[in-house]
Structure formats: structure tokens, C-alpha cells
């Protein structure tokens, strides 16, 4: 018996529980160590744990992690990815973050974490610059691929939070530190991966921006109180001769949904082109779900048009159903195919093109498209989010009042 216990000891050591409380993780990214923060809490039963990712002010609940054999599994089921790791002690874990597509791993990145730390970037030197403000930013890999945006930063001590507004959506909740005259920012949610490594010179920030597995761009941002995006209501539009859209698409449970259905007649209809894989779409759906509950009885309907990576509804349908459940969506979400130009041209041939996910249509009670909005200005943008939601609600109320 003693010999058996000695054989089993390594298994028990690896399967020990992680310490409850804050943790600091790092991904071994091509740009270097990419830090992020998370909080472990007790789960519904032994060997299960609730985990919240923390980016800026956002705490994003991942649901329950669990042990698979001797590995702790931290699932990101909305994004088809997971962290699998071994605990060398209750205070330390090492393993991999694996990103999947249609259930198959497409890449994995080494991961490590230690308990007890709430720091983002380890700061050996105090901040000697302050980056608070708004900036006109430009991102490019080469001279043919410039991509403008608006960088918004708020610094307290050497701690920095902020985001980047782009026509296709924002970079959500960036978090980081100023160390001497350098600004470092990161973001990780199981799908989006961002890392900024920059230098600050007076009113200019310049350096490198890493995104995804292998994306690398130059970045330069100049402080500019008047920095703004182009009109996001003019980037996506219908082809000449069209003033309405039509489609007939399946739900995950096999029903067909069309704008010609009685449910949508003489209603103000919001159509969200989205995907369960898209963080900005999650932000918009989190806004639309309670908005729909508030306005459905007043004559508003919403339809989500999900463009998923698999063309097989047997694969994509469960992802859509899980998305609805996690977000708390009561309106219909249909499967529209894969997120590419060819599919969109087939599903919505009257649309000139799509410039990003999500893209939102607002249709009046006569079925006429009154507005098409590219991207979503999410809660990570602060006052921009407040302004957008207020304007959106005002537009819907105006259309409801029309005869």
C-alpha cells in the first residue's frame, strides 16, 4: 500500500487545487511576454472553479474550469479556445492556450501564471510621463496597409487603461503601465490578443502593436483633442435601386426566418450581422438583449444574422445556441453562412459590401432601411459608448412614433 501511495503521489501533486484569489498570467507571444490578470473563485463543487478575466474595469466570467486528468482546463467556449495547464504548486501553473476552429486546434501558445499578483506589466521604474488624452493613431505593416484609429488613454500613477476606436469596432478594455518613458498595454479574452510596446515623446506615442498569433504593425499616435472616426453610418450601404433587404435563413433548431414573416410586419426591426467568435459582437449583443426586452412590447424586433467559421449548421448551430444562452438573447439568431464576401453577396445581394463585424441595420415599420451602422462602440470606450446607446435609443423611438 505504501508503494502504491508513492506511485500516485505525483498525480495528486499535479491535481492539487489552485489558490483562490487574484492571479497574473503571461502568454509567450511573438512580441514577448503578454500579461493578463484573472481571479479564481470556488466553483459549484470540488475541483471546479469560477474564473473571471480582468481587463481594465471589465471582469469577464468564463464560467467554471475543471480538471481533465491531471490538467486544469480553463475554457473559453464562446471563442472555441481553452487554457490547459498543470499546477506545480497551488501558487503556480504552466501550460498552453489553445485556439481552435470547428473543434480542431489551429495554434497554441505557452502560458504560465502565479497567484497573488494584481500587476499587469512589472514596473522596475516609475512613470516620468503622463499619457492621458485622445490621440490620432495610425497602424501599418507597410505603406500599402495604413489603418487609422483613435487612441484613448487614462493614466493614474503608472497604471493606464484605454482603448482604440476603429471603424470596424473598438479594442475593448486595454490595460497596462507606463514605465519610465515607455507605454505598455495588453488585452486577452480568449479570442482577442493585443500587445502594445511603445515609447512616449512629448505628445507622441510610437512603437509596435502585436495582434493575434503573428500580426505585427507599426504604430504612431499624436495627441489630438479633435481626433475622430469617419461617419460610421456611411461606410456600409445598399446598392443603387435598393432601399430594403430580404432573406430567408435557418435557426439552429431548423426553423426558417424571413423579414416577410408576420412577426416582423409593421415593426421597427434591428438586424445585427455578427458572429459568435467576435468580441465586439458580444458587446453589441449584450446591449441588444436587454434593449429588446425593454422595447419588444412597443413594436421592436431584432434578428441576429450569424456568420460562423463552419458552413455546416450541425457545427455552427450549437455555437449560435450557446451564444444565445450565454448572452441571454430572446430574439431570433439565424445562421447566415461563413464570414466572407462571397457568402454575404449571396445572402444579401443588395448590400454593396460589409466593412466589419458587427454591422447593424435599422429598418422602419414600412420595411425601408433607414440606417446601417458599421462596427460597435462598446463599453470600453466610456463616453463614446454612452453617446452611441443614447443616439441609438433616440433613433428607435423616432421610428416607433412614425405612422
Give the pLDDT mean for 271-282: 94
DSSP SS3 for 260: coil
Spell out where 116-191 has E strands. 133-140, 147-156, 159-166, 169-170, 174-179, 182-188
Q: How far is CA 259 from CA 129, 240, 369, in A?
A: 54, 21, 12
Q: What contacts 79, CB < 8 A, 6 or more positions away? A: 99, 189, 190, 191, 277
Give the pLDDT mean for 111-128: 92
The per-residue pLDDT for range 75-108, each reduced to its tens digit, is 988 888 999 999 999 999 999 999 888 778 888 8
The per-residue pLDDT for range 164-180, each reduced to its tens digit, is 999 989 999 999 999 99
At residue 221, the pLDDT reads: 97
- Among left, alpha and beta (phi > 0; psi -120 to 50; other), residue 379 is alpha
The per-residue pLDDT for range 125-144, each reduced to its tens digit, is 889 999 999 999 999 988 88
The per-residue pLDDT for range 347-371, each reduced to its tens digit, is 999 999 888 899 999 999 999 999 9
pTM of the model: 0.89
* Measured distance CA(289)–CA(328) in Å, rounded: 7
Q: How far is CA 238 from CA 241, 265, 275, 369, 371, in A?
A: 8, 21, 21, 9, 10
Amino acid at each position: 500500500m505504501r508503494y502504491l501511495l508513492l506511485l500516485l503521489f505525483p498525480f495528486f501533486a499535479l491535481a492539487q487545487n489552485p489558490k483562490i484569489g487574484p492571479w497574473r498570467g503571461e502568454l509567450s507571444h511573438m512580441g514577448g511576454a503578454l500579461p493578463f490578470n484573472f481571479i479564481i473563485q470556488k466553483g459549484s463543487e470540488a475541483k471546479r472553479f469560477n474564473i473571471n478575466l480582468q481587463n481594465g474595469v471589465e471582469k469577464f466570467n468564463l464560467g467554471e474550469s475543471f480538471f481533465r486528468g491531471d490538467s486544469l482546463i480553463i475554457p473559453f467556449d464562446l471563442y472555441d479556445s481553452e487554457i490547459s495547464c498543470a499546477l506545480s504548486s497551488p501558487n503556480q501553473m504552466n501550460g498552453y492556450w489553445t485556439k481552435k476552429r470547428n473543434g480542431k486546434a489551429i495554434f497554441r501558445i505557452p502560458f504560465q501564471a502565479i497567484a497573488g499578483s494584481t500587476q499587469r506589466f512589472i514596473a522596475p521604474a516609475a512613470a516620468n510621463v503622463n499619457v492621458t488624452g485622445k490621440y490620432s493613431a495610425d497602424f501599418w505593416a507597410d505603406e500599402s496597409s495604413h489603418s487609422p484609429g483613435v487612441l484613448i488613454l487614462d493614466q493614474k500613477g503608472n497604471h493606464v487603461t484605454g482603448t482604440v476606436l476603429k471603424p470596424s469596432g473598438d479594442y475593448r478594455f486595454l490595460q497596462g503601465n507606463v514605465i519610465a518613458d515607455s507605454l505598455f498595454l495588453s488585452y486577452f479574452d480568449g479570442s482577442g490578443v493585443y500587445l502594445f510596446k511603445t515609447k512616449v515623446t512629448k505628445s507622441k506615442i510610437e512603437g509596435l502593436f502585436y495582434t493575434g498569433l503573428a500580426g505585427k504593425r507599426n504604430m504612431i499616435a499624436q495627441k489630438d483633442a479633435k481626433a475622430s472616426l469617419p461617419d460610421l453610418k456611411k461606410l456600409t450601404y445598399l446598392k443603387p435601386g435598393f432601399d430594403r433587404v430580404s432573406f430567408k435563413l435557418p435557426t439552429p433548431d431548423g426553423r426558417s426566418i424571413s423579414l416577410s414573416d408576420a412577426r416582423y410586419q409593421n415593426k421597427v426591426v434591428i438586424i445585427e450581422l455578427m458572429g459568435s467568435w467576435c468580441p465586439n459582437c458580444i458587446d453589441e449583443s449584450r446591449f441588444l438583449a436587454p434593449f429588446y426586452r425593454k422595447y419588444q412590447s412597443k413594436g421592436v424586433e431584432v434578428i441576429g444574422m450569424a456568420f460562423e467559421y463552419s458552413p455546416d449548421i450541425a457545427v455552427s448551430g450549437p455555437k449560435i445556441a450557446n451564444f444565445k444562452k450565454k448572452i441571454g438573447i430572446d430574439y431570433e439568431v439565424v445562421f447566415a453562412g461563413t464570414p466572407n464576401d462571397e457568402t454575404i453577396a449571396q445572402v444579401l445581394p443588395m448590400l454593396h459590401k460589409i466593412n466589419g463585424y458587427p454591422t447593424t441595420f435599422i429598418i422602419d415599420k414600412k420595411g425601408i432601411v433607414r440606417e446601417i451602422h458599421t462596427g460597435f462602440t462598446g463599453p470600453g470606450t466610456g463616453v463614446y459608448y454612452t453617446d452611441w446607446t443614447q443616439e441609438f435609443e433616440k433613433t428607435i423611438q423616432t421610428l416607433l412614433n412614425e405612422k
